[in-house]
Structure 1
Amino acid sequence: MLFKLKYILITATLLLFAPVNQGNATVRDDITEPNLHVIRKLLVSAINSGKITDSLYRNLGAIKNRTALINGYMATLEALKAKHTWNPYFKIKYLNNAEKTFKTAVTGDPHNIEIRFMRFSVEHNVPGFLGYTKNLVADREEIITQLDRKHYSSADAALVKTIINFLLDSKRCTPAEHGKLSQHLASL
């Protein structure tokens, strides 16, 4: 089992920086843009694995000129680090870092539904008494606005469906928003 986990981590790390367009026969020496599909899959695995969280965090942290979206992933991973640690001091520290990194990500690309979704999902899952839920309404409204405009940024159809389903399941939408989201889901 341990060997399998190490193999998965090594393979995922190698794939993380593989070019997205495999049809191009030229090999680039300066690959700096990670494969978003791989990051998304690893992020889902990181929800239940501290090792994958730490590995992905280190790999994305090594990127020199991070985009707003990569900062959004970093913020999500910081929040997951809080989930995986047992120490209350570090839980708060990681959540504070996540909040700051999310602010940087949203400032860098305020209309990116993937960044807004990551922050919404973190804030939705953090206990309300900790005070990390101040952007839920703004993020939900921005996501719905971008869905109405069909401005999905880097999100593909599968991710858009995931975002819509998460919003619907969160029970944080108004009846009018619920109706809009259901229409968007039906049209995909």
Structure 2
Amino acid sequence: MQNLVIILAVILAFGNNQESALSRVRSLYQKAPNEEGAAKDLLRFTNDFDEGNPVLLGYNGAAHMMMAKHVVNPFSKMSHFNKGKKIYKNAILSAPENIELRFLRFAVQSEAPGFLGYKENITEDKKFLMDEVLTLKDQELRKLILDYLLASKSMSAGEKIILKEKSN
């Protein structure tokens, strides 16, 4: 009986650590486009996780891509972007129906300059997000995705109206 209690405590503690880690990552992710320090923190924090967690791996890829915005050297920019793209591709291949990964890909592709040619999944991810976001039980993630979609230049005015009506 005592072993069962210890096992349950470890499971609960691990679950809470995962949730708090994910919450911290999401917070850094929101700041990273405008704050180089947050982008570096996001990169450092997500480097500590192995490939066993596709969502954290996806955030690591997104962090590399955001670092490209903050460095000056064109070679460093491309290096960060390409490394992030490769990491992100592996993450999404391991969990293609994960809404958080699809959101990250949509956001990265929406913000990527056109000359990089990294925009091929915007339409499919937008549809997936619009169909699934309101079914999310995770309120923090739901708000993150809804806020982004409603502000995104990749969403039409009509799509934003539909999303607002569905979310009320």
TM range (shorter): 0.7 to 0.9
**TM-score, normalising length: structure 2:** 0.77
| Partner deviation per Cα, 1:111-161 (whole Å, 9 max, x = no partner) | 22211111211111121122121221121122123236x1x3xx7224313
Aligned to 1:40: 26
Aligned to 1:165: 147
State the distance in 1 between where 2:123 and 2:36 align: 29
Aligned to 2:101: 115
Aligned to 2:39: 53
CA contact (8 A) 1:111 1:146 kept: no
State the distance in 2 between where 1:27 and 1:106 align: 29
Q: Which amino acid aligns with 1:109?
A: A
CA contact (8 A) 1:161 1:185 kept: no
Aligned to 1:90: 76
Runs of 4 or more consecutive aligned structure 1 residues displaced over 4 Å after TM superposition: 25-28
Q: CA deviation at 1:168?
A: 2.7
- How many residue pairs get aligned? The number is 157
Unpaired stretches in structure 2, ≥5 consecutive residues: 1-7
Percent of matched pairs sharing the same residue: 30
Instruction: State the secondary structure of the residue aligned to 1:35.
Output: helix
Q: CA deviation at 1:27?
A: 6.6
State the distance in 2 between where 1:54 and 1:72 align: 15
Aligned to 2:166: 184
**TM-score, normalising length: structure 1:** 0.70
| Partner deviation per Cα, 1:19-55 (whole Å, 9 max, x = no partner) | xxxxxx9578x95746211111122233333233223
State the distance in 2 between where 1:27 and 1:89 align: 45
State the distance in 2 between where 1:47 and 1:175 align: 24
Instruction: State the secondary structure of the residue aligned to 2:67.
Output: helix
State the distance in 1 between where 2:151 and 2:109 align: 14
Q: CA deviation at 1:86?
A: 0.5
Structure with greater helix percent: 2
Change (3 A) 1:53 1:170: closer
Q: Which amino acid aligns with 1:170?
A: S
State the distance in 2 between where 1:138 and 1:92 align: 25
CA contact (8 A) 2:58 2:91 kept: yes
State the distance in 2 between where 1:161 and 1:61 align: 25
